[in-house]
Amino acid sequence: MLFLTINLRLVCGKVNPKFCRYTLKGLNLFTNKVKILKEIKRLVKKDGKIIIGVYSEKASVIRLKQYRKAGAYLKKINKDGTFLLRDGTISEQFSPIKLKRIFKKAGLIPKLTTLGKFAYICEAKK
């Protein structure tokens, strides 16, 4: 599973690391993705960069294998590749159009890079 990762340029005391990384559950698991992206945007410094990895629209088969291997029980699989798990979790995959729409609503313009057959990396500056 790919995880939502936020890279923030920070100056932390004497150590002065170049990046501080926060990892949350995958963007595909959040119900209100726009709200999450707006909050990330709020937290990122003015010149900061947001980097997010997500499943592509071609990832249904590999996601299904991963969920089964992890012991997750699927209740329903929609035609668009959205999985509904028995515990109520909803897991999605994204097309470039869908990603751009979500980012735009959050006030961000993503640069999308294809990562293999099954994922995209989305980069956006504040």
Say what the pLDDT of residue 24 is.
53
List of long-range contacts for 25-28, beta carbons under 8 Å, 24+ apart: 26/1, 26/2, 26/54, 26/91, 27/52, 27/54, 28/54, 28/55, 28/91, 28/92, 28/93, 28/94
Residues 82 and 91: beta-carbon distance below 8 Å: yes
Supply the mean pLDDT for the chain: 80
Band of residue 93 on the pLDDT scale cut at 50, 70, 90: very high
Say what the pLDDT of residue 98 is.
94
Domains in the chain, start-ordered, CATH in brackets? 4-56+93-125 (3.40.50.150)
pTM of the complete model: 0.76
